A and B are shown apart, each in its own frame.
Chain A
Amino acid sequence: MEQGWRWELSPVHLLRLRHHTQDDDTLSPALRLDTFKMAMHTPDSGSGGSGPGRDTLSTLEAAMADGPVAELLLRRLEASDGGLDSAELAAELGMEHQAVVGAVKSLQALGEIIEAELRSTKRWELTAEGEEIAREGSHEARVFRSIPPEGLAQSELMRLPSGKVGFSKAMSNKWIRVDKSAADGPRVFRVVDSMEDEVQRRLQLVQGGQAEKLGEKERSELRKRKLLAEVTLKTYWVSKGSAFSTSISKQETELSPEMISSGSWRDRPFKPYNFLAHGVLPDSGHLHPLLKVRSQFRQIFLEMGFTEMPTYNFIESSFWNFDALFQPQQHPARDQHDTFFLRDPAEALQLPMDYVQRVKRTHSQGGYGSQGYKYTWKLDEARKNLLRTHTTSASARALYRLAQKKPFTPVKYFSIDRVFRNETLDATHLAEFHQIEGVVADHGLTLGHLMGVLREFFTKLGITQLRFKPAYNPYTEPSMEVFSYHQGLKKWVEVGNSGVFRPEMLLPMGLPENVSVIAWGLSLERPTMIKYGINNIRDLVGHKVNLQMVYDSPLCRLDAEPRPPPTQEAA
């Protein structure tokens, strides 16, 4: 812990370092758990159903230290007729029962040397006060003995240790009397010459293991006086096992540097490991599962020769987000209900005005072979700032930049980044999610090329059964939705959307007429949820995600077979 953060210590720093050390002394819960797991590797068959904790640990340690007891136990067992009781053995050997139990457990761990059957018996034991009385007599007897023939002042008697209890008991036993008319206050005298201390006798009987000689009533009276208590004793009935032997040597738990240097490991037996126990997880950081999937998608694009587009602008103008994509100004996606618009900064400050004019003309009048939408296109509408609703806005910017470079060079682009929708939230929709987009621009690209690229892309995701459905997107024509057959759901599910960008989008940018741009998009969250069987998107994204899920998430290997669903037993 001293590996130093800094050595010039101000009082504050000293305080912090000290605090730090303290902290390490008192184990954090996590650390304690690890210690336990480590301990679990060494055999511990005796504690069968008992829960984890330090008690188990200390029992085990005690047992290991008790080699001689184990040896004694084996000798006695060899001589015995059938078996012996652990408590009786402890009594005979004059040692703590716990020590014998320890020896039993450590012998059990060695295999079939002994058999031990747990038995519980009830037994009467003296309390601390009971033991004192057995030794020194009851309080009433001690009071009786302390009274001389000439009597004793009551006030003086009461000051004796046994005074109060002993006085009332001795009075009710009629061993003593009080003379209240004495000159210097009440005085106590003996009534009988001698008495039998029955309480002491009974307690001594119990102490000698002869509690059964007392009647039920006598025992309960002593219990009420808190001199006697009934305890349950767990003992072992030990008998010879199938591999019984008296000559066992102590097993080592772990290999040590000393054993290696001395070579003593060659002659020592080692305790077997419990391979059913869990290991200790390494202390480590973890990557977020969705971003692990993002890394894999980046990797796939890079393997396919796609260059990453800049997408680090969450704020976008309506122009780049919609108008440049030939999405008309009355399109429902441009509604307040679908898109987050900005109050501040409300409008884009600069737009490429030459290009804007071409876009305006294409929308309102057509051109480039198009009829256009024939409506009044408004610059104010295009200036409105918003949180981009798709990364296609970034693709539009990238393609516009590409169009300004002469001569045209073919490109393959991709991006994966956040997009925002002012949608109603549910189990599969959040206000923000990640969009994956791929774009290829080259002379003479066909729909067949788009499908070919998609096939390669999805094959890398481990998705091989594809089907294409005609669809409508405002900025692609032809458009196709990509479906894949989901083995688990036993149906075709949509996995992406794709198409060829419309000439009304590309030509105003200045791209050559014979250049086609094919593109496709999908969300990052959806394939991740399908892959990991997550039903609620909130379990995957956002601050409410359970960190344990992040800690436990496996590597992302998109082309590997998914783990089979848990069976009844496993669950």
Chain B
Amino acid sequence: MPTVSVKRDLLFQALGRTYTDEEFDELCFEFGLELDEITSEKEIISKEQGNVKAAGASDVVLYKIDVPANRYDLLCLEGLVRGLQVFKERIKAPVYKRVMPDGKIQKLIITEETAKIRPFAVAAVLRNIKFTKDRYDSFIELQEKLHQNICRKRALVAIGTHDLDTLSGPFTYTAKRPSDIKFKPLNKTKEYTACELMNIYKTDNHLKHYLHIIENKPLYPVIYDSNGVVLSMPPIINGDHSRITVNTRNIFIECTGTDFTKAKIVLDIIVTMFSEYCENQFTVEAAEVVFPNGKSSTFPELAYRKEMVRADLINKKVGIRETPENLAKLLTRMYLKSEVIGDGNQIEIEIPPTRADIIHACDIVEDAAIAYGYNNIQMTLPKTYTIANQFPLNKLTELLRYDMAAAGFTEVLTFALCSQEDIADKLGLDISATKAVHISNPKTAEFQVARTTLLPGLLKTIAANRKMPLPLKLFEISDIVIKDSNTDVGAKNYRHLCAVYYNKNPGFEIIHGLLDRIMQLLDVPPGEDKGGYVIKASEGPAFFPGRCAEIFARGQSVGKLGVLHPDVITKFELTMPCSSLEINIGPFL
């Protein structure tokens, strides 16, 4: 969930009133936001770097507000204020207009070289904008928030904003060999080739995260003006030449990307948020984008879409009984201008370009419910009549757990993920023999594989509890995972029961007795015939030679029991003899 940080006083000024922290928290909750933290720049720096560094920092109060991940229109002060003011019916939602310029339209020409790396681009112009320091900061911050969220860290979309007065169109969006791209990037004093820049930015804490998007590509995307000035090398960096400042009056905005839909949404969000500060409020100057196939479109789209939803559907989905008129009013408060039409039960809803999150009638239903107030909805119980059933394997597990404890064994809960070493090397096995599933992106060795046996977890539990009085009698009933090409995903869970006895003597008779008890509980008689159980001498690398038996029940092998091999005991950092039992309980269903 993105967090937007706004200056409290600026926010209250824009909202036209002040709130106590509690009042504002309440307002956020109602609207689906969360006032996450009340802090200041000084406090943040002091927390992260200590009081000394924070000495000169501002102590203006900041509100950190959590915004739902699909509400890109609330990612800056301007959007938050507009959303809340409309919600509280203090203003009407503004109408955003795309206008044609008096003179020539700005053109962005896309060449076919971009197809393989970053094929899409859209553009727009904000004319006669008036920034202040706070507005400018908010403009930069919104781009950053969009980059981090909908733009997927610039992978899907990257935004470039430029001082149009320093450039001369038409602009060309193309892709070139890195060695052929040379320009002075933002915040540098001289020109570098793209190759040099990629090297320099490897150590840049901010930019290094985006390099991978184009790094190994033969051609890098780049935008030039008609004089060959580099506007930007998306998605990495803009040129210094066209940088915007607080004094910039005309802004050229380009969004390049791999997802056309998202590029259009991002552009719409930026221009709708900041056209507020244009001389003609909420108007945006169109730009023309010429595609490699020669066709062209104008942007931003700023599309208003009409949806029709029946009032009784909203009432039925939410569980309320409001008149169509009231529902239309509720929706209008959510920035969705609505009116009752037709037979008096139809509501026509206008979806503005800021609400790209509305893709289905259910999104409209939710907004009606939010405006109605979730906590005002009457709670009722559904009349759904059903008979409950337990999942048979879990039912058996529950029954066995209680009787294992009654038999004097203590239940442990260990991790399903572990290292290869735990399930292979430490048990004297080769990893290939385990048929384990392997994780491709573990952050540490603890998450290399899913366990194929419960034993390592139990032995590690003992190792962490060596100070406890002996004997230690532990068990776990849980799932292990084995590769299996007969299942749809290629792997299968098995419900295992594992028990260990750890003492000054191996206690094989105790573990064997436990097996006898388990079989008694499962109503499996001793003996080979009639679905009985029997243990037969066996061997296994985890067991001491001659001290291992395989367990056969109901005609199949279900597991092993025995005295653990001293090497296994040592590798798990234990010092006492130990016997163990592990069976698959699936066959006993």
Interface bits A442-486 vs B (CB < 8 Å: 1, else 0): 101111110111011000000000011111100001111000000
Q: Give the residues from 483 to 502 in chain B that come closer than 8 angstroms, CB to CB, to chain A.
A: 483, 485, 487-493, 495
- A527 contacts the other chain (CB 8 A): no
B388 and A455 within 8 A (CB) = no
Flag the segment in A121-129, A188-196, A271-279, A302-310 that touches B.
A302-310
CA distance A317 to B386 in the complex (A): 30
Say yes or no: B363 contacts A343, CB within 8 Å. Answer: no
A502 on interface, CB distance cutoff 8 Å:
yes
Q: A477, B360: Cβ atoms under 8 Å?
A: yes
> What is the CB-to-nearest-CB distance from A413 to chain B, in angstroms, rounded to a whole number?
9
Q: A477-B362, A502-B362 known; A471 and B472 CB under 8 Å?
A: no
CB-CB under 8 A for A472 and B490, given A288-B413, A344-B438: no
Nearest neighbor of B435 in chain A, beta-carbon distance: A344
With A308-B390, A313-B492, A314-B479 known as contacts, the answer to whether A341 contacts B410 (CB < 8 A) is no
| Segment 457-477 of B: residues with Cβ below 8 Å from A | 457-458, 460-461, 463-465, 468-475
The answer to whether the Cβ of B86 comes within 8 Å of any Cβ in the partner chain is no
A333–B258 Cα distance when bound, in Å, is: 19
Q: Are B386 and A411 in contact (CB under 8 A)?
A: yes
Our pick among B394, B415, B440 for the contact of A308 (Cβ within 8 Å) is B394
Q: What residues of chain A lie closer than 8 Å to B464, measured between beta carbons?
A: 543-546
A366 to B485, CA, bound (A): 34
B17 touches A (CB below 8 Å):
no
Residue from A306, A387, A470, A541 within 8 A of B366 (CB atoms):
A470
Assembled-state Cα–Cα distance A450/B420 (Å): 44
Assess the A432–B417 pair: CB atoms within 8 A. yes
Interface pick from A110-118, A154-162, A262-270, A290-298: A290-298
Most buried by A among B389, B390, B488, B505: B488
Closest residue of chain B to A313, judged by CB?
B493
Report the separation of the CA atoms of residues A544 and B492 in the bound assembly, to the nearest whole angstrom.
27
Q: Which residue of A lies closest to B586 (CB)?
A: A312
Could you tell me if B390 and A547 are in contact, using CB atoms closer than 8 angstroms?
no
Chain A residues, CB < 8 A from B447:
340, 422, 431
Binary contact track B112-155/A, C-beta < 8 Å → 1, others 0: 00000000000000000000000000000000000000001001
Q: Is A336 an interface residue (CB 8 A)?
A: yes
Query: Nearest chain-A residue to B406 (Cβ)?
Result: A285
A344: nearest chain-B partner, CB-CB: B438
Quick check: is A120 within 8 A (CB to CB) of the other chain? no
Among A283, A287, A346, A369, the residue within 8 A (CB) of B361 is: A369
Q: Of the 9-residue stretches B99-107, B191-199, B268-276, B317-325, which lies at the interface with chain A?
A: B317-325
Q: Which residues of A contact B377 (CB under 8 A)?
A: 447-448, 451
Contact A369-B360, Cβ < 8 Å, known A310-B391, A387-B439, A547-B468: yes
Contact A286 B439 (CB under 8 A): no
Chain A interface size, under 10 / 10 to 19 / 20 to 34 / 35 or more: 35 or more
Interface readout for A405-424 with B: 1 if CB under 8 Å, 0 if not?
00000111000001010100
Interface check B203, CB cutoff 8 A: no
A500 to B475 alpha-carbon distance, docked (Å): 39
**Per a CB cutoff under 8 Å, which of A286, A411, A546 touches B411?**
A286
Pick out which of these stretches binds chain A: B28-36, B45-53, B246-254, B289-297: B28-36
Whether B413 and A290, one on each chain, are in contact in the complex, defined by CB atoms closer than 8 angstroms, is yes
A16 at the interface (CB under 8 A from B): yes
Q: Is A489 an interface residue (CB 8 A)?
A: no
Q: A345-B489, A369-B361, A447-B318 are in contact. Are A455 and B479 (CB under 8 A)?
A: no
**Does B311 count as interface, using CB distance less than 8 angstroms?**
no
For A5-30 the 0/1 string (1 means CB < 8 A from B) is: 11000000000100110010000111
Question: In the complex, what residues of A have CB within 8 A of residue B156's CB?
Answer: 330
Closest chain A residue, CB of each to CB of B149: A332
Most chain A CB neighbours (cut-off 10 Å) among B259, B374, B450, B509 = B374
Interface residues of A in 311-344 (CB under 8 A from B): 311-317, 330, 332, 336, 340-344
* Chain B nearest Cβ from A313, distance in angstroms: 6
> What residues make up the interface of B, taking CB atoms closer than 8 Å to A?
1, 29, 31-32, 34, 68-71, 152, 155-156, 259-262, 316-320, 359-363, 365-366, 369-370, 374-375, 377-382, 384-391, 393-394, 398, 401-402, 404-417, 437-443, 446-447, 450, 457-458, 460-461, 463-465, 468-475, 479, 481, 483, 485, 487-493, 495, 504-505, 508-509, 512-513
Known: A341-B441, A412-B386; 9 extra A-B contacts, CB below 8 A, are A16-B509, A291-B413, A313-B487, A315-B491, A351-B488, A451-B374, A478-B362, A480-B374, A543-B415
- Listed in ascending order, the chain A residues whose CB lies under 8 Å from chain B are 5-6, 16, 19-20, 23, 28-30, 33, 283-288, 290-291, 295, 298, 301-302, 304-317, 330, 332, 336, 340-351, 366, 368-375, 385, 387, 410-412, 418, 420, 422, 430-432, 440, 442, 444-449, 451-453, 455-456, 467-472, 477-480, 500, 502-504, 516, 518, 541-548, 550-551
**Can you sample 22 A-B contacts with CB below 8 Å?**
A5-B509, A5-B512, A285-B475, A287-B401, A312-B393, A314-B479, A317-B488, A342-B440, A342-B491, A344-B438, A346-B440, A348-B489, A349-B485, A422-B441, A422-B447, A445-B382, A449-B319, A470-B68, A503-B360, A541-B415, A543-B461, A547-B461
